[in-house]
Structure 1
Amino acid sequence: MPNLSGKHIVLGVTGSIAAYKAASLIRLLVKAGAEVQVVMTAAAKEFITPLTLSTLSGRPVLCDFFDHSDGTWHSHVELGLWADLFIVAPATASTMAKMAYGIADNLLVTCYLATRGRVYIAPAMDLDMYRHPSTIASAARLREMGATILEAEEGELASHLIGKGRLPEPEEIVRRIEEDMDKATTLTGKQLLITSGPTYERIDPVRFIGNYSSGRMGKALAEQAIRMGAEVTLVTGPAQVLPTPHERLRVIRVESADEMLEACRSVTSYQIAIFCAAVADYKVAHPEEQKVKRESRPSMTIELVPNPDIAALMGKEKDKEQIHIGFALETHLDLEQVRDKMERKSFDLIVANTLEDEGAGFGTDTNRVTLLSRDGSIERSLPLMDKEQVALEILNTLPQLS
């Protein structure tokens, strides 16, 4: 596991009683060889003094946009460019909401908006605040924008209630970040092909047959793979969400299953393919050239014919060095049927889930999946977790499949 030697870290400290833990966190980061610049909110100074954190970091703590004694400007742009890592610990509900929606009314949030490095957010608050829909929405939005949320821990809180909301201990925060950074290089040099979203099969120029896939899982896979060093080609149907643009991301937008197959076959060089798209099983045999008007056709019968099975066709064409991963979304999970699908489509790993599980399936931020490998070395059911974490769990199996 790599250390943090030479890394530039901006540590944001906000107005939580857990702010006292920032002192230990700075000590550990400096001990690991990092350079730490602390940025505090005004509320944070009520819980721990800037002098304490400045002494430990060896740098003046920044709280305001400029120094009130001499007018020196504290450039959030320079800080954003300097930072390899931007860590907010502890993060209050207020700060998370401001970061999620770009409310740049303090130095900490403006630094975050200017940051190009990796972002880690460690929430700390009372259990009811932590599980409030607004806080959950802020966390989900921050994840979508690429931040890593270091989940709060269970325990006794400042209110003396017992529940989730405690800031992880500084040693645990550093361990999680170092572990994440260690994984961030495991796909360096690898080329990934990922399919995502639904396909739309035209009835006429304004109507189509489709499904409820949002593209969230494909987005999560693409972004996690890029964080781990991969070059990604994403072939996506008309998804609701797309990954954040990146120099190692190529997006090919398609509409129908036929177009998706053609796009996949155009990607001639890849080591790993993940078939995450919800491809329509059928298409309209004879799409209309003009919009069908209800007045001229009181009733309508549509003939459907099978679409090409993209994963199966690509599986027949893959070479022995390529790894293929597929998904199986069922209304009822039958592992024997899932294994049969894995064989038919030449998947090395299959990710199975069911619509029976609350919080899983289309249009959700979470998923509950079972991972099965073709050689039998992997058979693991995961708990309900956000799709970014599911994506990481899937990608972390790749060394076992090589």
Structure 2
Amino acid sequence: MAHLFNRNVLLGISGGIAAYKSAELVRQLRELGAEVRVIMTRGAQEFITPLTLQALSGKPVHTELLDAEAELGMGHIELARWADLLLVAPATADLLARLAAGRADDLLTTVALATAAPRLLAPAMNQQMWNDPATLANVATLQQRGMHFVGPAAGVQACGDVGPGRMEEPAAIAQHAAALFDSGLLAGQRVVITAGPTREALDPVRYISNHSSGRMGFALARAAVDAGARTTLVSGPVQLATPAHVRRVDVESAQQMLDQCLELLPECDIFIACAAVADYRPATFASQKIKKGAERSSLELVRNPDIVATVAASSAAPFTVGFAAETSKLLEYAQAKMENKQLDMIVANDVAGAGIGFNSDENAATVLWPGGSEVLEQASKLNIARRIIALIAKQMKNSSE
């Protein structure tokens, strides 16, 4: 059954009488599991009020291009990055013309240019306007640029004419939106993902750790489930809710994480090592709290086991994906790590950059595999995770052919 679980749908409403159907469309999208935010043009607000859409979506409605309340005042960029799908319903003849011309003179058209998400348009207009050569040429142009269309349907129109131009029914539009997403890329695969930091205890109250929030690993778990995989998440200590349909195993130290991963290995087809595992641990654990004493103190550390290298070197190793969080020489270090540890793929991300990496909701990365690579521009961690999962599925398919 089609669904939109964990999907962010940005619904654009332009100024036509069919705007009244958008209220029902919001309800249909949410019933399929989507989180919905709404953009309304000025014309749309003449047919249906923002308050109605706000009540139905549970989110503030966006109407202005220049939003002083948005972070950095760039609401269009924030919305463009948030969206997994831009759905415009109704898409009027004027809106189609402006999109075809590459206009960016209001919030909706600007977001349409700024987003990397799929764009689905549901046309709605008088039958003569739909059949006009200019409209047909605009539709052809938009289709050539990769935009998707649903409808229009044919029938009696608000003006009394009969013919094609009616906006498709909300239930059909919602189903079409769900069908755009590949939900079976990893169907039947068993995925183990590590996430978050590890803690290496010094004494009963102190430990060595890092700034990892676990968000990237948890986003990968959500994306793997959406792709049809049976997913287990081995997580260090984080303050995050377990994604739906994910089995979670909590650990503290690197050794505990390795033990759990090795236990899961016989039933693992894909292993994604996203956790920020401590490279070293204290050589000894003090059973009592270490008291403050001399002005200087030294701490002896020993190497922790290398989890991803151990998994990759195991007999019947799964498809193994590593992460390289670096602050310099990103691609050089990532390439060397992939080769030295014999990984099938590695995700390199610069954690020194502002607004991405640790404790951020967004990320940017370069994915490398033997003989290829792909740059993933800055987006939400969930969007990045879905693209990583898609690349894993593609590489696994290529390697099996």
TM score, norm. by length of structure 1: 0.65
Q: Contact 1:213–1:278 at 8 Å: present in 2 too?
A: yes
Asked whether the 8 Å contact 1:91–1:122 carries over to 2, the reply is no
Aligned to 2:222: 223
Retained in 1: the 8 A contact 2:10–2:87? no
Structure 1 pair 283–155 and aligned structure 2 pair: CA distance change class (3 A):
farther
Q: Cα distance 1:151–1:297, how it changes in 2: closer, same or farther (>3 A)? A: farther
**Where in structure 2 are the equivalents of 1:286-305 lying within 5 Å?**
286-294=284-292, 296=293, 298-305=295-302
1:350 aligned to 2:298? no
Matches within 5 A, 1:24-39: none
1:282-336 CA-to-partner distances (Å, cap 9, x unmatched) read 0001121111222x5554321110000001111111516x211111111113434
Tell me how far 1:129 sits from its aligned partner: 2.4
User: Are 1:80 and 1:111, in contact at CA under 8 Å, matched by a contact in 2?
Assistant: no
Q: 1:394 is matched by which residue type in structure 2?
A: I
Which of these residues, 379, 384, 397, is aligned with residue 390 of structure 1? 384
Alignment-derived partner of residue 104 in structure 2: 156
| Aligned-partner Cα distance in 1 for 2:275–2:17 | 43
Residues 2-401 of structure 1 correspond to what in structure 2 (within 5 A)? 18-20=13-15, 23=18, 48=19, 50=20, 53=21, 83-84=31-32, 86=34, 88=36, 90-91=38-39, 124-129=62-67, 132-133=70-71, 148=84, 150=86, 155-158=103-106, 163-164=110-111, 170-171=121-122, 172=147, 178=177, 181-244=180-243, 246=244, 248-267=245-264, 268-294=266-292, 296=293, 298-319=295-316, 322-374=318-370, 376=371, 378-401=372-395
Query: Over residues 188-223 of structure 1, what are the superposed CA-to-partner deviations in whole Å (9 max), with x where a residue is unaligned?
Result: 211100000011111111111111111110011011
Tell me, yes or no, if the aligned pair for 2:251 and 2:257 is still in contact at 8 Å.
yes
1:249, distance to aligned residue in structure 2 (A) = 0.8
Cα 1:386/1:85, change in 2 over 3 Å: closer
Distance 2:351 2:29 in 1: 44
Q: Distance in 1 between matches of 2:209 and 2:34?
A: 40
> In structure 2, do the counterparts of structure 1 residues 347 and 131 end up closer, same or farther at CA, with 3 Å as the change threshold?
farther
Can you list the C-alpha shifts for 1:232-259, whole angstroms capped at 9, x where unaligned?
A: 1000111233443x2x311011111001
Q: Is the 8 A contact 2:85 2:120 kept in 1?
A: no
In percent, how many aligned pairs have the same letter? 31
Instruction: For 1:255 and 1:140, locate their aligned partners in 2 and report how far apart those are by CA, in whole Å.
Output: 35
SS of aligned partner of 1:90 = strand
The one-letter amino acid paired with 1:395 is I
Gaps of 5+ in 2: 41-50, 89-98, 123-146, 151-173, 397-401
Contact 1:194 1:218 in 2 (8 A): yes
Question: Which AA in structure 1 matches 2:385?
Answer: A
Structure 1: tracts of 5 or more residues without a match: 24-47, 55-60, 64-75, 93-105, 114-120
Report if the CA contact (8 A) 2:87-2:121 is conserved.
no
**Following the alignment from structure 1 to structure 2, what is the Cα–Cα distance between the partners of residues 149 and 122?**
18
Aligned length: 318
Quote the Cα distance in structure 2 between the aligned partners of 1:394 and 1:300: 44
Aligned equivalents of 1:199, 1:13: Cα separation in 2: 37
> Residue type of the partner of 1:129?
D
Distance in 2 (CA, whole Å) between partners of 1:279 and 1:286 is 19
Q: In the TM superposition, what whole-angstrom CA distance separates every residue of 1:73-121 from its partner, at most 9, and x where no partner exists?
A: xxx9xx78993355746347xxxxxxxxxxxxx88677668xxxxxxx9
Q: 1:112 to 1:277 in 2, by over 3 A?
A: same
Provide the rounded CA distance (Å) in 2 between the counterparts of 1:62 and 1:220.
30
Q: Which moved more, 1:266-275 or 1:335-344?
A: 335-344
Structure 1 counterpart of 2:321, which letter?
Answer: I
Deviation of 1:355 (Å)? 3.1
Greater shift, 206-215 or 178-187, is seen at: 178-187
